[in-house]
Amino acid sequence: MAETEPAEARNSAQRWSRWPAFAFERLRMPYGIILAVFLVFSAISLFLESSLRVRAVGHWGSAEALGLKQGIATAAAGLFILAYMRIIKQAAVTTLAQLRSVVQVDDLSYESAARRLIWADSRVEFGLLLVAALLAAILLVLPDNELRSLPHSQPLEILALAWVTAFYMLAFWLMLSLVYNTIRNARALAQLAAEPLQINVFDPAHLLPFGRLSLVQSLAFVGVFLIPLILLGSPRSGGWLVIVLSLLSLTALFVPLWGVHRQIIAAREQALTQISEELLVVQHALVGGAVADAEKLAALAQHTATLIEFRRRVLNNPSWPFRDVGAVLRASAAALGPLVYFILNYLVQSYIFPLFRTP
């Protein structure tokens, strides 16, 4: 049986890994090629946009440099999303294989949970593509001060603008796809966490895959938020937006784990109640004078020490599926990465750099 279960988990993991978690996996081609094609497509788009901007004003200025930096940030974020969605899928497949013996449901129900966690709905993805096209039209095509302000009188210029518009539409689509995948995965993970679980209050190791997957999913938004902060700098205004987005990342980390948290709390209360009852029995035996033999007293003392140690371990273990309280704090700090970077950058700009300025 010990050899059969790992074999079944490997077979299931291989089957789940073939499911399309997002649109680009439906292409059935090496993912490295997809990333390379996107990188080349982005580079060509940035070159065309920069060329059109220079042609529009006749020189390279600060506005053109800022536009190029924004395009680079967009391309970097898109490349990160493409790569990270693959990481999320691999983490989901690994987590499902590790949690099969922990989640107390039948195989059919577990397979359904795996499908909800991994398989993307092609209809939703197509709908997101239409929304991305609409956003590109509203934000970039229709305004007079955006792409319409670039030269578009010649056929080659029109083709270049169409290429640039397709690039930004693809970037919008990737962002929407990331949001869709993250929400879908968070809901599926929350549903899986609400199923009956095998809880060991003395050792949370078997529940750690829940925490790892939730952390991997929440860090997707952290990376997307940090890329423009690093490449473009902290916003002069709108710091509240960084705070809100960081809090959303923190919420995305812990909300899917609520079912695990609730079951850990219930199991801890049950274990602590049993330990208290055992300690009460020992107390009655000692106070009532029922035990006078030295060996029995030593056995009771050892039993009491063991119960107290068990209680200490139960109380010290976190009520979330992480190794210890320190791991919970580190995961929280990682989810709040954009806020931490924003605050540190503000402190450096406001208090450190002025020290090195000449009077």
Give 110's contacts (C-beta < 8 A, 6+ positions apart).
96, 100, 103
What tens digit of pLDDT does each residue of 111-146 get? 999 999 999 999 999 999 999 999 999 988 888 777
Q: What is the pLDDT of residue 229?
A: 80
Instruction: Specify whether 35 is located in the same domain as 91.
Output: yes
Q: Which two tokens stand for residue 346?
A: 């503000």
Q: Return the C-alpha torsion angle 27, 30, 33, 37, nearest 10.
A: 10
Phi-psi region of 289 (alpha: psi -120 to 50; beta: other; left: phi over 0): left
Cα(108)–Cα(195) distance, integer angstroms? 14
Q: What is the pLDDT of residue 291?
A: 58
Domain end: 196, 211, 242, which one?
196
Instruction: Specify whether 111 is located in the same domain as 255.
Output: no
Q: Which residue has the tokens 């539409």?
A: 169
Q: Which two tokens stand for residue 155?
A: 């056929």
Q: What is the pLDDT of residue 187?
A: 93
Instruction: Specify whether 124 is located in the same domain as 216.
Output: no
Q: What is the pLDDT of residue 144?
A: 79
The domain containing residue 180 runs over which residues? 1-196
Instruction: Specify whether 357 is located in the same domain as 247.
Output: yes
Cα 16 to its chain centre, rounded Å, is: 19
Q: What are phi and psi of 151, to 5 degrees?
A: -60, 135
Q: What is the pLDDT of residue 358?
A: 55
Q: What is the pLDDT of residue 239?
A: 64
**What residue spans of the chain are helical by DSSP H?**
4-17, 31-57, 62-99, 107-118, 122-136, 155-193, 208-232, 239-254, 258-287, 294-316, 325-335, 337-347
Tell me which residues of the chain have a pLDDT lower than 50.
1-3
Instruction: Specify whether 31 is located in the same domain as 178.
Output: yes
Q: What is the pLDDT of residue 238?
A: 55
Q: For the whole model, what pTM was predicted?
A: 0.84
Instruction: Specify whether 190 is located in the same domain as 76.
Output: yes
Instruction: Specify whether 227 is located in the same domain as 245.
Output: yes
Domain end: 173, 196, 219, which one?
196
Instruction: Specify whether 170 is located in the same domain as 247.
Output: no
Instruction: Specify whether 229 is located in the same domain as 355.
Output: yes
Sign of the alpha-carbon torsion through 242, 248, 254, 256: negative
DSSP reduced 3-state for 328: helix
Length of the chain (residues): 359
Q: What is the pLDDT of residue 9?
A: 66
